[in-house]
Amino acid sequence: MAREPDPGKHKHRVSLVSGGNRGIGFEVVRQLAALGHTVILGSRDLAKGEAAARAIGDGVPERVIAARLDVTDLAGVEDAVKEIDRRFGALDVLINNAAIHYDTWQTAVAADVEGVVRDAFETNLLGAWRMIRACVPLMRRNRYGRIVNVSSGAGAISSMGAGTPAYSTSKAALNALTIIVADELRDSGILVNAVCPGWVATEMGGAGGRPVAEGAAGIVWAATLPDRGPTGGFFRDRKPISW
């Protein structure tokens, strides 16, 4: 993470976005920076993260800071959050965006459980869980926080069917985690919600989806909710959807 010219108490909301170097994560970083947030752009590959931060920073200089962040690495997650605390003294927003394996090629009965499925859960569920565990103490200290778990309609049990077994089950578990954490943190000043961005035209989603900016807008909405905003909900385009 590059050194800021004036470390210390933050003047703007401080946000952390995992998987921020491309796709929906990149657009979420861009939109939050445009709103005046100081955004930590997390990326497993620091060079790619730094390139993405420069691309956004051309329009909002010194608002986007790249950091190496692999959500499957507990020690790395904890180190990144400690560095945020050291520099800013706060973390206001956590966007759990990092996700892998939209496994259209698999069936549940023949899935690669020890490979693809385990990897999906490590990132899509446990990665978000590690991030929440590391970030909540900073939010509790300032009695303010917004946690957004980027989920998917594929994880809604109410409409679930065959297909993408690793991705769908990991997102269903992420939805369950959202409800549990939101209830634990009720009355703490920390709002926790899951957001489905819809089918978005990204590297993972493929061609034909909606514009990335539209999918990201609902995530940014949840990241900037007022103090009396909803918590423990599942949303798409700012409207509740079925679990």
What pLDDT, in 10s, does the model give residues 218-234?
999 999 999 999 999 99
What is the structure's pLDDT at 62? 72
Q: Which of 26, 88, 144, 167 is catalytic?
A: 167
- Residue 63 pLDDT class (50, 70, 90 cuts): confident
- Residue 8 pLDDT class (50, 70, 90 cuts): very low
95-116 average pLDDT score: 96
Contact residues for 176 (Cβ-Cβ < 8 A; gap 6+) = none
Which one, of 15, 194, 36, 38, lies nearest residue 92 by Cα? Answer: 15
- Residue 200 pLDDT class (50, 70, 90 cuts): confident
Contact residues for 145 (Cβ-Cβ < 8 A; gap 6+) = 91, 92, 93, 94, 135, 136, 138, 139, 185, 188, 189, 190, 191
Of 60 and 200, more confident: 200
Two tokens, residue 120: 């999906």
What is the structure's pLDDT at 199? 76
Of 203 and 84, more confident: 84
Question: What are the structural domains of the chain?
Answer: 14-240 (3.40.50.720)
What is the structure's pLDDT at 6? 39
Tell me the three state secondary structure of residue 78. helix
Mean pLDDT, all residues of the chain: 91
Q: Is the pLDDT of residue 77 over 70?
A: yes
> What is the rounded (10 degree) CA torsion for 56, 58, 62, 64?
10
Does 167 qualify as catalytic in the annotation?
yes
Q: Is the pLDDT of residue 120 over 50?
A: yes
DSSP 8-state assignment for residue 110 = G
What is the structure's pLDDT at 205? 55
- Residue 10 pLDDT class (50, 70, 90 cuts): very low
191-214 average pLDDT score: 80
**Contact between 64 and 36 (Cβ < 8 Å):** no
